[in-house]
Amino acid sequence: MNSKKHIAIFASGNGSNAEKLMQYFQHHPSIKIELVICNNPNALVLEKAKTKQVESILISKAELKTSDKLFPVLEQHQINFIVLAGFLLQIPSWLTQKYQHHIINIHPSLLPKFGGKGMFGRFVHEAVIAAHETESGITIHFVNEKYDDGEIIFQGNCKVDKNETIESLANKIQQLEHLYLPKIIEQIIV
Ligand code: GRF
């Protein structure tokens, strides 16, 4: 009997976090990365999923709005848990309701600071530096219908140095994300 928990990763872009998750859970006794859901046919994450032999499904913005296409896929793959790792579309309420406390997001700032619509990637780091923040970090949180708003599960910090650039800060944040996201998922699920 296969009793592993099945995770679907939702990602729209590079997929470096998705790749780390696929590596970390590759031989895990109780967690399997079962699917990658992506809304961008040119996203690098699709290549990464292919390399790791994880099935990927493309979904359009319009298709995400109703459960018609995606829900049967999630059921067929027996998805227990959803991880948003750089997924840029808003999660509709039909999905948050079906997966209450079973969808998490990772955000590259210390929420509630520097979150919300349009706050992703380098825009976040640019805003952090422009605001002369002395620290930044990552937030892993449960997902509700609003952007970057659900209950916070974990935050990890880093210093923002005086001569920090968007690139150097992005680097620090990415290291934190890659270190903590797999471990936090493991803690929540197992
Ligand atoms: C990460 O910074 C994550 O916090 C945010 O989107 C980015 C995804 O990066 N939600 P990658 O595609 O995993 O490299």
Q: Which residues pair with 103 in a beta bridge?
A: 82
Neighbours of 76 (CB within 10 A): 9
**Ligand 1 pocket mutation pick from 12, 17, 120 by most atoms within 8 angstroms of CB:** 17
Residues within a 6 A CB radius of ligand 1: 11, 13-18, 85-86, 106-108, 120, 177
Whether 56 has a pLDDT exceeding 80, the answer reads yes
Rounded to the nearest angstrom, the distance between the alpha carbon of 141 and the centre of ligand 1 is 14
Rounded to the nearest angstrom, the distance between the alpha carbon of 2 and the centre of ligand 1 is 30
What pLDDT, in 10s, does the model give residues 60-106?
Answer: 999 999 999 999 999 999 999 999 999 989 899 999 999 999 999 99
Would you say residue 163 lies in a domain? Answer: no
By percentage, how much of the chain surpasses pLDDT 70? Answer: 99
Residue 127 has what pLDDT? 97
Number of independent structural domains in the chain: 1
Would you say residue 126 lies in a domain? Answer: no
- Return the CATH number at 98: 3.40.50.170
Average pLDDT, the chain: 95
Would you say residue 22 lies in a domain? Answer: yes
Residue 2 has what pLDDT? 61
Residue 144 has what pLDDT? 86
pTM, two decimals, is 0.96
Whether 151 has a pLDDT exceeding 70, the answer reads yes
> Is 6 tagged catalytic?
no
Would you say residue 34 lies in a domain? Answer: yes
Would you say residue 78 lies in a domain? Answer: yes
Would you say residue 161 lies in a domain? Answer: no
Rounded to the nearest angstrom, the distance between the alpha carbon of 11 and the centre of ligand 1 is 8
What pLDDT, in 10s, does the model give residues 111-140?
Answer: 999 998 889 999 999 999 999 999 999 999
Per the residue annotation, which of 28, 102, 107, 141 is the catalytic one?
107
Whether 53 has a pLDDT exceeding 60, the answer reads yes
Ramachandran bin of 121, using left for φ above 0, alpha for ψ from -120 to 50, beta for the remaining angles: left
Integer Cα distance of 42 and 12 in angstroms: 9
Domain extent, residue 68, equals: 5-116+139-156+181-189
Would you say residue 71 lies in a domain? Answer: yes
Would you say residue 13 lies in a domain? Answer: yes
Rounded to the nearest angstrom, the distance between the alpha carbon of 1 and the centre of ligand 1 is 34
Q: Using the atom order of ligand 1, give the atom closest to the CA of residue 87.
A: 10
By percentage, how much of the chain surpasses pLDDT 90? Answer: 92
Residue nearest to atom 6 of ligand 1 (CA): 86
Whether 1 has a pLDDT exceeding 60, the answer reads no
Beta strands in 39-145 (DSSP E): 55-58, 79-84, 103-107, 135-142
Q: What is the mean pLDDT of residues 28-56?
A: 98
